[in-house]
């Protein structure tokens, strides 16, 4: 195989020497073309095809690297071997740095060296080319791979973004659904930590927070807290921590637990009447905790109690009215007969006294007169004659009192009165005191200051009587507590004030501390022992006065001094008339 060599050499003599050297050692292997200038070399390179370039600039390569560079640019594929005259490492290194394959010092070469160098340079260039081609292929493949993987990755990212958005949307939807549930929902883990709470739960069980929540009463979110730090279930007046209660049991056994009438006591001390169900939280077949859903049953309980109270009142009222009616008739004839007996006794005693006087005057020493005197003395006749009228008048008084109480009972009970009617409040107060006499007579004196000019007011008489009864009984209880051995005072006054009437009921009982005063109108709030109070008295009073009559109820109290309740009722039964009067 022939190796075509382009020899660039300005010196013809040197060129001939090289050509001869190659001819001898190559023995026909080399076909050398001589270019006397770089310009000719460039032209030849443009026209023919060569396998290697030999460059001999004489001493010029040291001073003119520009020409070497021109050749290297024109023949990037070909190995370039530089011949130098100078035995200087730096010159060779400069040539190699510029891109030459090799360099030879002219004084040290011969035909074999030259042949070997040209051949190796050519082979090296071939290997390098092959390597560069392989590298380029590899690079290309790599780039294709990068493009392919980038495309796949961006598709995966887009998919993930879409999935995450869908997940977020579904989470928002789920939160919105749970937040809009009327029932409170709490999800607990096995240890009793709240994993999730909805808005109803936050509102019902949360304590006020300083962080304002838009449009809602500020409450702290419950999620993340321990259940015992939020509320405990109360069973038989005992607070059950999570550890001992049914929520943990549900999480452990997986059995449902349900109660229709339970109390949750919040960390802040509020009691919440609820119906709740607790079911296990199961994920992938594993019991992970529990789900509590609960609803506030205060309104339901209140309505139940009111209905019960109303039906009790109605039946007690009916019974009382019936009894009053039954007692009324015999009371009347007992009174009539007593009056008759009194009158008759007056006549009989006169006749008796004058008969005795007559016998004593006409037959003073007769046996009949003596016997009559003895019998009169034995029977204590003088005493009987003196005491008899008094006994009768006392009995008449008693009967009068019975008929007054019976009348008060009839008027107080008002069975079945459902419409508002005009009522004389002063009389209603007197009736209330008459029927509740037993509650206060051993405890207090009553000071009455009733406005004689009080107009009648339009109201539900049965319910207003109930209000006054509750207030009088509360006053009596407070006095009994404060003064177990002495009597206190209950002062009741009525006044007209513009379009309203005020009823003021004051006592000198225990009074109330602020924490009691703040809660007295709450249904079921009582400080009294079990069986002594249900805590409904004042809740009913407020309902009757405010909700049913558009009136007001205010309390003024001082611990250790006493309490005064003031009730304002619109005269015409219409709340609008109250506003102008204050």
Ligand X SMILES: Nc1ncnc2c1ncn2[C@@H]1O[C@H](COP(=O)(O)OP(=O)(O)OP(=O)(O)O)[C@@H](O)[C@H]1O
Q: Where does this chain bind Mg ion (CB under 5 A)?
A: 474, 537
Q: Which range touches ligand X (CB under 6 A), out of 110-118, 172-180, 188-196, 518-526?
A: 518-526
478 binds ligand X (CB under 6 A): yes
Report the nearest approach of ligand X to the CB of residue 405 (Å).
Answer: 23
Contacts of 127 (CB under 8 A, 6+ apart): none
- Whole-angstrom distance, CA of residue 324 vs CA of residue 573: 29
Q: Which one, 219 or 552, has the nearer CB to ligand X? A: 552
Interface of this chain with ligand X, residues 494 to 513, rule: CB under 6 A: 507, 509-510, 512
310 binds ligand X (CB under 6 A): no
- Whole-angstrom distance, CA of residue 410 vs CA of residue 322: 8
- Whole-angstrom distance, CA of residue 15 vs CA of residue 13: 5
Contact, 440 vs 476, CB < 8 A?
yes
Contact, 50 vs 32, CB < 8 A?
no
Give buried/exposed letters for 428-443 (b at 16+ CB in 10 A, else e).
bbbbbbbbbeebbeeb
470 binds ligand X (CB under 6 A): yes
- Rounded alpha-carbon distances, angstroms, from residue 307 to 60, 301, 341, 530: 124, 10, 50, 22
The residue from 533, 575, 577, 581 that contacts ligand X (CB under 6 A) is: 533
Interface of this chain with ligand X, residues 554 to 573, rule: CB under 6 A: 563
Interface of this chain with ligand X, residues 30 to 89, rule: CB under 6 A: none
The residue from 474, 480, 494, 568 that contacts ligand X (CB under 6 A) is: 474
Q: Which one, 374 or 556, has the nearer CB to ligand X? A: 556
Report the nearest approach of ligand X to the CB of residue 303 (Å).
Answer: 17
Least Cα distance to 203 among 216, 193, 214, 187 occurs for 216
Report the nearest approach of ligand X to the CB of residue 532 (Å).
Answer: 7
Q: Which one, 336 or 447, has the nearer CB to ligand X? A: 447
Q: Which range touches ligand X (CB under 6 A), out of 133-141, 447-455, 484-492, 531-539?
A: 531-539
Quick note: the x/- pattern for ligand X over 187-226, rule CB under 6 A, is ----------------------------------------
520 binds ligand X (CB under 6 A): yes
CA atoms in the 13 A half-sphere facing the CB of 154: 5
Q: Which range touches ligand X (CB under 6 A), out of 73-81, 174-182, 343-351, 532-540?
A: 532-540
Contact, 267 vs 231, CB < 8 A?
yes
Residue 516 interacts, among ligand X, Mg ion, none and using kind-specific CB cut-offs from 5 to 8 Å, with ligand X
538 binds ligand X (CB under 6 A): yes
Strand-pairing partners, residue 219, are 208
Count residues binding ligand X (CB under 6 A): 22
The residue from 387, 528, 547, 576 that contacts ligand X (CB under 6 A) is: 528
Q: Which one, 431 or 466, has the nearer CB to Mg ion? A: 466
Residue 402: exposure state from Cβ atoms within 10 A (0-12, 13-18, ≥19): middle
Contact, 290 vs 188, CB < 8 A?
yes
Q: Which range touches ligand X (CB under 6 A), out of 195-203, 363-371, 525-533, 546-554?
A: 525-533
For residue 200, count other CB atoms closer than 10 A to its CB.
20
152 binds ligand X (CB under 6 A): no
- Whole-angstrom distance, CA of residue 278 vs CA of residue 255: 9
Structure tokens at 337: 């007969």
Q: Which one, 26 or 506, has the nearer CB to ligand X? A: 506
Contacts of 344 (CB under 8 A, 6+ apart): none
537 binds ligand X (CB under 6 A): yes
Q: Which one, 30 or 412, has the nearer CB to ligand X? A: 412
525 binds ligand X (CB under 6 A): yes
Q: Which range touches ligand X (CB under 6 A), out of 10-18, 244-252, 262-270, 536-544?
A: 536-544
Q: Which one, 221 or 533, has the nearer CB to ligand X? A: 533
The residue from 526, 575, 577, 581 that contacts ligand X (CB under 6 A) is: 526
Structure tokens at 344: 């008759």
- Whole-angstrom distance, CA of residue 56 vs CA of residue 100: 12
Structure tokens at 133: 């081609």
Q: Which one, 53 or 469, has the nearer CB to ligand X? A: 469
Report the nearest approach of ligand X to the CB of residue 506 (Å).
Answer: 9
Integer Rg of the chain from CA: 61
- Whole-angstrom distance, CA of residue 187 vs CA of residue 292: 6
Contacts of 314 (CB under 8 A, 6+ apart): 415, 416
Least Cα distance to 388 among 333, 347, 332, 418 occurs for 347
544 binds ligand X (CB under 6 A): no
Residue numbers at the binding site for ligand X (CB under 6 A): 470, 474-475, 478, 507, 509-510, 512, 516, 520, 525-528, 533-539, 563
């Amino acid at each position: 195989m022939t190796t075509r060599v382009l020899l660039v050499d300005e010196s013809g003599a040197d060129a001939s020497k090289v050509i001869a050297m190659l001819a001898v050692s190559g023995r026909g292997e080399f076909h050398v073309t001589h270019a006397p200038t770089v310009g000719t070399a460039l032209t030849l390179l443009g026209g023919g095809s060569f396998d290697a370039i030999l460059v001999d600039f004489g001493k010029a390569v040291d001073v003119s690297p520009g020409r070497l560079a021109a050749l290297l640019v024109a023949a990037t594929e070909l190995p370039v071997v530089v011949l130098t005259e100078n035995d200087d490492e730096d010159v060779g290194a400069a040539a190699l740095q510029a891109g030459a394959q090799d360099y030879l010092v002219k004084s040290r070469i011969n035909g074999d060296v030259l042949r070997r160098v040209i051949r190796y340079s050519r082979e090296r260039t071939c290997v390098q080319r092959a390597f560069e081609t392989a590298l380029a292929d590899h690079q290309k493949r790599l780039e294709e791979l990068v493009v392919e993987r980038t495309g796949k990755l961006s598709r995966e990212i887009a998919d993930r973004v879409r999935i995450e958005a869908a997940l977020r949307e579904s989470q928002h939807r789920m939160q919105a659904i749970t937040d809009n549930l009327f029932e409170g929902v709490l999800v607990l883990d096995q240890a009793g930590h709240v994993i999730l709470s909805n808005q109803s739960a936050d509102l019902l069980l949360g304590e006020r927070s300083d962080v304002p929540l838009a449009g809602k009463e500020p409450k702290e979110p419950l999620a993340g807290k321990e259940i015992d730090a939020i509320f405990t279930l109360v069973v038989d007046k005992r607070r059950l921590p999570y550890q001992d209660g049914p929520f943990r049991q549900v999480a452990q056994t997986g059995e449902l637990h349900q109660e229709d009438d339970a109390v949750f006591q919040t960390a802040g001390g509020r009691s919440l009447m609820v119906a709740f169900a607790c079911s296990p939280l199961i994920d992938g077949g594993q019991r992970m905790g529990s789900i509590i859903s609960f609803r506030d049953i205060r309104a339901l309980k209140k309505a139940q109690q009111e209905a019960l109270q109303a039906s009790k009142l109605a039946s007690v009222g009916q019974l009382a009215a019936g009894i009053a009616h039954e007692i009324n008739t015999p009371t009347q004839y007992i009174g009539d007969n007593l009056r008759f007996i009194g009158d008759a006794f007056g006549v009989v005693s006169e006749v008796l006294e004058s008969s005795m006087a007559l016998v004593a005057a006409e037959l003073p020493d007769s046996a009949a007169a003596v016997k009559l005197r003895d019998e009169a003395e034995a029977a204590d006749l003088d005493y009987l004659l003196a005491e008899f009228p008094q006994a009768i008048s006392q009995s008449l008084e008693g009967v009068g009192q019975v008929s007054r109480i019976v009348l008060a009972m009839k008027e107080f009970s008002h069975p079945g009165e459902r419409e508002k009617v005009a009522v004389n409040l002063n009389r209603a107060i007197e009736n209330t005191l008459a029927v509740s006499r037993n509650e206060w007579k051993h405890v207090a004196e009553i000071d009455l200051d009733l406005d004689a000019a009080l107009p009648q007011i339009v109201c539900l008489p049965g319910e207003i009587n109930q209000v006054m009864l509750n207030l009088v009984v509360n006053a009596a209880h407070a006095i009994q507590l404060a003064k177990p051995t002495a009597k206190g005072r209950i002062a009741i006054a009525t006044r007209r004030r513009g379009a309203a009437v005020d009823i003021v009921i004051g006592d000198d009982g225990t009074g109330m501390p602020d924490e009691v005063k703040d809660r007295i109108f709450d249904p079921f709030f009582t400080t009294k022992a079990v069986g002594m109070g249900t805590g409904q008295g004042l809740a009913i009073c407020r309902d009757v006065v405010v909700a049913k009559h558009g009136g007001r109820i205010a309390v003024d109290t001082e611990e250790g001094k006493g309490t005064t309740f003031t009730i304002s009722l619109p005269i015409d039964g219409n709340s609008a008339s109250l506003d102008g009067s204050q």
